[in-house]
Amino acid sequence: MAQRLAGDPDMTQPSLGRRVVAEIVATALLLATVVGSGVMAERLAGGNVALALLANTLATAGALIALILAFGPISGAHMNPAVTLADAAMGGMARRDVLPYVVAQISGAYLGVAVAHGMFELPVFSASHHVRAGPAQFLSEFVASFGLLATIWGVARRRPDAVPFAVAAYIVAAYWFTASTSFANPAVTLARAASDTFAGIRPADAPAFMVAQVLGAAAATLLFRWLVPALPQAAPDILVPHPGAASTVIFACVHNAGRSQMAAAFFNAMADASRARAVSAGTQPGERVHPEVIAAMREVGIDLSNAQPQRLTPELANKGNLLVTMGCGEACPAVPGLRRDDWPLTDPKGRPIEEVRRIRDEIRDRVAALVAAEKWKRSA
């Protein structure tokens, strides 16, 4: 298994400049595919619109898989302002990086349209006359974007390696079950308004599409934030795992049902998500968080009732920058180059609430000291 070693250059975050360039190039190639395959399909389909749409669909899906796999390890391969905004809202990327990403995506989208037009000897840009207006189109784009973000959030937490294929599969389906043929991307929408081809959209119709896309993405993100409270743990790896700006602290105990859950919850409440985040796990995960722990944490305004214990695997440990153990001892995976600390804390399972409160407060104090020492504290 490949380990994350201290000083390994492949595991350091690419500079913002490199990530921005990756977004420009990836988005440009996506638009070149969407527009170029639309032109080619229309020319070869002999007037059969269904056949042309099928060809456009398959080319787009293939490009999505390839581009996410190629550029995802650098920038995340968002290629979509709605995805970037949703990721930042979940703490997966620094908010100061949102504007550069969005500008890169829009710039790349227009570049991709220009390249596609050049390949087919068309004007560099031409306003589209393809009418896509009305409530049905608005609803279609809301559904398309909702489903796209739901697919990303639903798959990324447990199967991040499957995200490129899941996204492509959803887009293939949405091309056909939505009346709008699933743009699901504000940057794509803007650029396609400058292409009077099979894939175009009339400029006057673009704003409504973009509003629907942002609303759909926001609705899916809010839903999955409620369905899966631990979802922010996956946000830094959207769309696929890539070196992030934030450090990852892993709190580990035996059952992941008490000490480590409290520590991770306190950490994520105190720390700036753009600098550090916490996950928790156990060597022998229980079925649920201990009731007495849920009650004690609720007293300080943190709800762990939906938290789900998970196993501390070597793969999970390998994602961390710091491993804090709380009783799992030698059962915890050893990862070369991973900083490690041990907090000798009493297991709160089955103990009176007064004693659980004492353990809770000690964990909070230790977490606060860690956050302060590492300069990860959330700004007031």
Distance CA 257, CA 285 (A): 7
Angle in degrees, 0-180, between the axes of helices 163-177 and 49-75, rounded to the nearest 10: 150
- Torsions phi, psi for 143 (to 5 deg): -65, -40
Q: What are the residue numbers of the active site?
A: 253, 328, 332
If one counts every other C-beta atom within 10 angstroms of the C-beta of residue 12, the result is 9
If one counts every other C-beta atom within 10 angstroms of the C-beta of residue 107, the result is 17
Distance CA 230, CA 307 (A): 7
